[in-house]
Amino acid sequence: MAGPSRDKIESLALVLPFLGLFLLMPPAVLAFGVPAMIAGVPLIVIYLFAVWALLIVIAAWLARRLRPRAELERAMRDPAPTSGRDRPD
């Protein structure tokens, strides 16, 4: 199972905070500010924490798929060259 391509995952990672922003900011959040209760808990409380949990779950899923691609990337993350293979300029 290959799943979505790396490019698409990266795009999703860029979009995710904006999805959160949209859901957590007015006017979207106002739609749930009605005096309704679910199992004794106000709807708005449930909504906020549900969105929060959703963001965490999506972020975790994305994080699993955004693993560093290869050793090359790992080498690039380490700023100090670790061996004598300094690229000639």
Partner 1 sequence: MLSSKLVLLAALAYVAILFAVAFFGDRQASKGRSGFLQSPLVYTLSLSIYCTSWTFYGAVGSAARNGLEFATIYLGPTLVFVGWWFFLRKLVRVGRVHKVTSIADLVSSRYGKSTILAVVVTLIAVIGTTPYIALQLQALTVSYQVVSHASAHLDPALLAAPDFSATFWIAVGMAVFTIIFGTRNIDANERHHGVVAAIAVEAVVKLAALLAVGLFAIVAIGDGIGGVFSGSHPRLLNADDIFGPRWVTLTFLAATAIICLPRQFQVMVVENTDEDHLRTASWLFPLYLFLMSMFILPIALAGLATLPASADPDMFVLTLPLFADQELLALFAFLGGFSSATSMVIVACIALSTMISNHIVMPIALRLPGSALSASGDVKRLLLVSRRISIGIILLLGFLYFRISGPSEALAAIGLIAFAGVAQILPSLVGGLYWRHATAKGAVAGLIAGCALWCYTLFLPSFGGSFLMSADVIANGPFGLSLLRPESLVGLSGVDPLVHALFWSLSLNTVLFTLVSLATRPNPLEQVQGRLFIDVFDSDRLDAKRYIQRSATGRDLFVLAQRILGADAAHHLFAKMAGQGGAARHEPVVDDAFIDQLERQLAGSVGAASARAMISQVTTGERISLDALMRIADETQQVIEYSQQLKQKSEELESTARQLRAANERLTQLDIEKDDFLSQVSHEVRTPLTSIRSFSEILLDEDDLEPKQSRRFMQIIHDESERMTRLLDEILDLSLLERGEAPLALATVDAEASLDRALDLSQGLASRLGVSLKSRERAAEAMVQADPDRLSQVFINLLSNAIKYNVSEAPEVQIWSQVSHGSYKALIEDNGPGIRPADRERIFRKFSRGWAQPQTDRSGAGLGLAISWQIMNRLNGSLELLPDNGRGARFLVSLPALAKA
- Binding interface with partner 1 (CB under 8 A): 10, 13-14, 16-18, 20-21, 24-26, 29-30, 32-35, 37, 39-42, 44-45, 48-49, 52-53, 55-60, 62-63, 66-68, 76-77, 79-81, 83-84, 86, 89
Nearer to partner 1, 5 or 49 (CB): 49
Q: Compute the distance between CA of residue 15 and CA of residue 37 in angstroms, rounded to an integer.
A: 31
Report the 10 Å Cβ neighbour count for 46. Answer: 15
Nearest alpha-carbon partner for 20 in 63, 65, 62, 56: 56
Nearer to partner 1, 2 or 34 (CB): 34
Closest approach, Cβ 1 to partner 1, in A, equals 21
Nearer to partner 1, 3 or 79 (CB): 79
Collapsed DSSP state (helix, strand, coil) of residue 48 = helix
Q: Compute the distance between CA of residue 48 and CA of residue 33 in angstroms, rounded to an integer.
A: 10
